């Protein structure tokens, strides 16, 4: 009788064979409870050793099982999130470019080590809470970034100058994005900062080499042409005027042929050093050929101002240049044309200045010839068209040197 009752109880109680994975067991029991478990049903659940137990399926037991399951799943999800955050932090810290997050109040929320080293303002922990504007060399650039973020939400490849703690400036490229909260209000800015100071240095060096003469460091022909076009446009726009002075070094071929090219190069360097202090910073002094130079005298007041500059340039060469333990006399011929008085376009202005230069060189040649002739007074009078003729003896000594002066008798 007792044996029969035990058999009946066994038939009433579902027999569940469970493996060691508790999550799988709980899911199985929950599913069976919701659909009903036929008597004698055997469950195969993967993983672990087989355990046998009887479960009376009451609501309390099922609720407990569900709670355990939810706790396990949350714990697994939390562990996965922690591992993902750790991987993200590692990538963030190891990035070679600067990474920065700031609140809309303008204070640093987070940054990586690359950014803290870039600015030199301390470690990452010391950077947090600092005003972002402290890193800008020009606060106006920061304001422009803020305006662009409010207008379009992102800024891409914006060139900025940041300042280090030492005061040194850095050229950087900024890419940033504005995040808004659920109410559409700005609350955070994430940005990347790439230091390309060395790139800018090389870029400036290459640009300088393209635009300047290597021997004298003066603007070259292409730069002079560009500045002449700018001078014409500026004069037309503002109603101002400028003068073009074409300068030629006298007897430079003689120096090159007799003293060598190295001496000729040194002669030109010293020649430029003599004339440069006589040229205003706003004007252009350039080399356009071997012994040909140009000065763009911008926005002069009177014709006498131009003549005064030309005379000052000539006087600067009164003292001979010291080249390889030798004193070599230096002199120049100058042709002047004024815009828009002498020409109303650039091509005509060049022609007028070149013509004036050739006339100046002809006068010098006549002076040297006249120095050997008895009627030098009449020759110079015709050459200078009524102007006061110079003393040929002094001019010969200036242009040829005292040892080369021919006799005037």
Residue 147 maps to which CATH number? 3.30.450.20
Asked whether residue 205 is domain-assigned, the answer is no
How does pLDDT run across 56-95, given as a tens digit for each residue?
Answer: 445 555 566 666 666 666 666 555 555 555 556 555 566 6
- 83 and 117 part of one domain: no
- 83 and 185 part of one domain: no
Whether the pLDDT of residue 360 is over 90: the answer is: no
Asked whether residue 342 is domain-assigned, the answer is yes
- 259 and 129 part of one domain: no
- 224 and 351 part of one domain: yes
Q: What is the mean pLDDT of residues 233-242?
A: 93
Tokens of 83: 């591992």
Query: Torsions phi, psi of 114, nearest 5?
Result: -60, -40
Residue 294 maps to which CATH number? 3.30.70.270
- Say which residue, 403 or 109, is predicted with more confidence: 109
Arithmetic mean of pLDDT over the chain? 77
- Alpha helices (runs of H) in 342-384, residue ranges in sequence order: 346-370, 376-383
Residue 90 is predicted with a pLDDT of: 54
- 225 and 291 part of one domain: yes
CB 160 within 8 A of CB 174: yes
From 47, 71, 92, give the residue that closes a domain: 92
From 200, 226, 257, give the residue that closes a domain: 200
Residue 292 is predicted with a pLDDT of: 93
Query: Torsions phi, psi of 281, nearest 5?
Result: -65, -30
Whether the pLDDT of residue 363 is over 50: the answer is: yes
- 295 and 262 part of one domain: yes
Asked whether residue 175 is domain-assigned, the answer is yes
- 220 and 355 part of one domain: yes
Tokens of 61: 């037991």
How does pLDDT run across 260-286, given as a tens digit for each residue?
Answer: 889 999 999 999 999 999 999 999 999
Q: State the residue range of the domain holding 70.
A: 2-92
Asked whether residue 207 is domain-assigned, the answer is no
Q: What is the mean pLDDT of residues 32-37?
A: 49
- 239 and 259 part of one domain: yes
- Say which residue, 91 or 148, is predicted with more confidence: 148
How does pLDDT run across 14-30, given as a tens digit for each residue?
Answer: 444 444 455 555 555 55
Whether the pLDDT of residue 199 is over 80: the answer is: yes
What gap in Å lies between CA 208 and CA 402, rounded to an integer? Answer: 41
Asked whether residue 409 is domain-assigned, the answer is no
Residue 277 is predicted with a pLDDT of: 93
Half-sphere exposure of 85 (CA within 13 A, CB side): 6
What DSSP string runs through 76-111? HHHHHHHHHHHHHHHHHHH-SSEEEEEETTSBEEEE
Q: Provide the pLDDT confidence category of residue 396 given band limits of 50, 70 and 90.
A: very low
- 192 and 57 part of one domain: no
What gap in Å lies between CA 303 and CA 285, rounded to an integer? Answer: 19
From 137, 169, 200, give the residue that closes a domain: 200
What gap in Å lies between CA 335 and CA 384, rounded to an integer? Answer: 15
The whole-model pTM stands at 0.61
Tokens of 99: 């990474």
Whether the pLDDT of residue 116 is over 90: the answer is: no
Report the domain count for the chain.
3
Query: Torsions phi, psi of 171, nearest 5?
Result: -90, 125
Rounded to 5°, the CA angle 357-360-362 comes to 110
What gap in Å lies between CA 304 and CA 15, rounded to an integer? Answer: 120
- 77 and 114 part of one domain: no
Across 62-83, b (16+ Cβ under 10 Å) vs e yields beebeeebeeeeeeeeeeeeee
What gap in Å lies between CA 165 and CA 138, rounded to an integer? Answer: 14
Residue 150 is predicted with a pLDDT of: 92
- Those residues with Cβ within 8 angstroms of residue 397's Cβ, 6 or more apart along the chain or in another chain: 405
CB 140 within 8 A of CB 148: no
Half-sphere exposure of 250 (CA within 13 A, CB side): 24
402 by Cβ neighbours in 10 Å (0-12 / 13-18 / 19+) ranks as exposed
Asked whether residue 206 is domain-assigned, the answer is no
- 38 and 75 part of one domain: yes
- 364 and 240 part of one domain: yes
Tokens of 23: 């999550």
Whether the pLDDT of residue 108 is over 50: the answer is: yes
Q: What is the mean pLDDT of residues 208-228?
A: 94
Asked whether residue 146 is domain-assigned, the answer is yes
């Amino acid at each position: 009788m007792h044996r029969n009752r035990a058999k009946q109880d066994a038939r009433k109680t579902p027999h569940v064979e469970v493996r060691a994975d508790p999550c799988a067991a709980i899911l199985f029991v929950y599913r069976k409870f919701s659909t009903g478990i036929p008597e004698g049903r055997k469950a195969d659940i993967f993983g672990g050793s087989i355990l046998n137990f009887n479960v009376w399926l009451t609501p309390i037991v099922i609720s407990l099982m569900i709670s355990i399951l939810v706790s396990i799943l949350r714990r697994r999800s939390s562990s996965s999130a922690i591992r993902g955050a750790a991987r993200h932090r590692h990538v963030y810290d190891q990035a070679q470019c600067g990474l920065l997050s700031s609140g809309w109040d303008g204070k640093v929320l987070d940054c990586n080590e690359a950014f803290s080293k870039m600015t030199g303002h301390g470690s990452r922990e010391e950077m947090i809470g600092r005003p972002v504007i402290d890193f800008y060399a020009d606060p106006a650039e920061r304001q422009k970034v803020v305006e662009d973020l409010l207008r379009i939400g992102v800024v891409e490849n914006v060139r900025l100058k940041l300042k280090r703690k030492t005061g040194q400036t850095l050229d950087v490229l900024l890419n940033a994005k504005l995040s808004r909260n659920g109410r559409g209000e700005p609350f955070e800015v994430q940005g990347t900062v790439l230091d390309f100071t060395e790139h800018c240095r090389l870029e400036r060096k290459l640009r300088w080499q393209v635009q300047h003469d290597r021997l004298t460091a003066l603007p070259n022909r292409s730069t002079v042409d560009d500045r002449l076009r700018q001078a014409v446009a500026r004069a037309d726009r503002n109603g101002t005027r400028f003068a073009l002075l074409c300068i030629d070094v006298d007897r430079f071929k003689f120096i090159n042929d007799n003293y060598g090219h190295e001496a000729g190069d040194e002669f030109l360097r010293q020649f430029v050093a003599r004339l440069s202090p006589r040229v205003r910073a706003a004007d252009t002094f350039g080399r356009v050929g071997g012994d040909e130079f140009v000065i763009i005298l911008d926005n002069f007041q009177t014709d006498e101002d131009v003549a005064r500059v030309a005379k000052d340039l000539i006087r600067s060469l009164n003292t001979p240049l010291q080249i390889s333990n030798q004193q070599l006399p230096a002199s120049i011929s100058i042709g002047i044309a004024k815009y828009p008085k002498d020409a109303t376009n650039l091509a005509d202005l060049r022609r007028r200045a070149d013509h004036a230069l050739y006339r100046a060189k002809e006068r010098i040649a006549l002076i040297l010839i006249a120095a050997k002739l008895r009627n030098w007074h009449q020759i110079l009078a015709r050459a200078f068209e009524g102007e006061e003729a110079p003393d040929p003896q002094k001019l010969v000594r200036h242009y040829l040197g005292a040892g080369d002066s021919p006799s005037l008798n």
